[in-house]
Amino acid sequence: MLKFGRVGLIASLDVPAVLDSLKNLERVFLAAGSQIVFDEGAANLIGRSDITSVAIEEFSGQVDLGVVVGGDGSMLSATRKLAAADIPLLGINSGRLGFLTDISPEDIAHRVMPVLHGEFQSTKRFMLEVVIIRDSIQMDSGIALNEVVLHPGMPLSMLEFELYVDGTFAYSQRSDGLIVATPTGSTAYALSAGGPLLFPELDAFSVVPLNPHTLSSRPIALPGDAQIEIYVGERNKFEPRLTCDGQNNFNALPGDKIRVSKHSKEIVFIHPKDNSFFSVCRSKLGWGSRLGTADENE
């Protein structure tokens, strides 16, 4: 019996590997008896007139599972567009690291079919919501699955700001910026900045300074329901930038208040049954395998 009878195919990278994966997935879904809905990017890559395509924002109510073909960037984009749709997502990795897209193109045939029939595991990932407030007026807002980054927006400029947690002053800082990362994003930009690895389903997030102008500043982990406020220093002579998942950018001004908190919606990721966070870390981060054991998946 099919668990996912209606499948949405999502792709945005115009490279041969993505096209090959789309064709392989189409064959698997048709063999399983699933109905396929292509997002507009995937439909353009396939290039046929006999397929059904809609904008990804219209998937709600039309598909039971979204399958993203591309890299982690493609998955990040899809999660923000489908944040309110309650559609679980499965990733096919045609990018580089692939922390979020964990099925290789060559494994599509034997790893996707079991998922369609209910043989999978799922994880819930929370997102962050960020709001920029200026003179008590909300100017911009965004959501992020990986991280929210405050940065100068120009090279060789130190940014001054104050950090508050649940209304309590934490510290003031001069640095290249600040990363607020979810557990999902702890393996991304925050990791390269010295932040901690967080287990994907942990109800917490990390706050990681970017090159702080002090030796005593360290990353901190906060509970998932914490409310963060960042006050942009009045003495900054430039307009800082706020970036969500490295894709959406917003301008801030000296004196602005930036609020970061957990978004009301969660994203559900679907994984093959043999998927493991630690096996992914071994593969992607070069962790050592078991001593004297040939099978690295044990």
Q: What share of the chain is helix, strand, coil (3-state, %, to 5)?
A: 20, 35, 40
Q: Rounded to an integer, what distance in angstroms lies between the CA atom of residue 37 and that of residue 53?
A: 6
pLDDT on residue 130 = 97
Catalytic residue selected from 50, 64, 72, 274:
72
Domain ranges of the chain: 6-120+272-285, 127-264
Length of the chain: 298
The yes-or-no answer on residue 72 being catalytic is yes
Full-model pTM: 0.91
Architecture of domain 6-120+272-285: 3-Layer(aba) Sandwich (3.40)
Nearest of 197, 239, 209 to residue 149 by alpha carbon: 209
- What does each of the 298 residues of the chain score in pLDDT, given as a tens digit? 789 999 999 997 666 678 889 999 999 999 999 999 999 988 888 888 888 789 999 999 999 999 999 888 899 999 999 988 999 999 999 867 678 888 999 999 899 999 999 999 999 999 999 999 999 999 999 999 999 999 998 877 899 999 999 999 999 999 999 999 999 999 999 999 999 999 999 999 999 999 999 888 999 999 999 999 999 999 998 899 999 999 999 999 999 999 999 999 999 999 999 888 998 888 888 888 788 755 545 4
User: CATH topology for 127-264?
Assistant: Tumour Suppressor Smad4 (2.60.200)
Closest CA to 208 of 249, 240, 176: 176
Fold match, 6-120+272-285 / 127-264: no
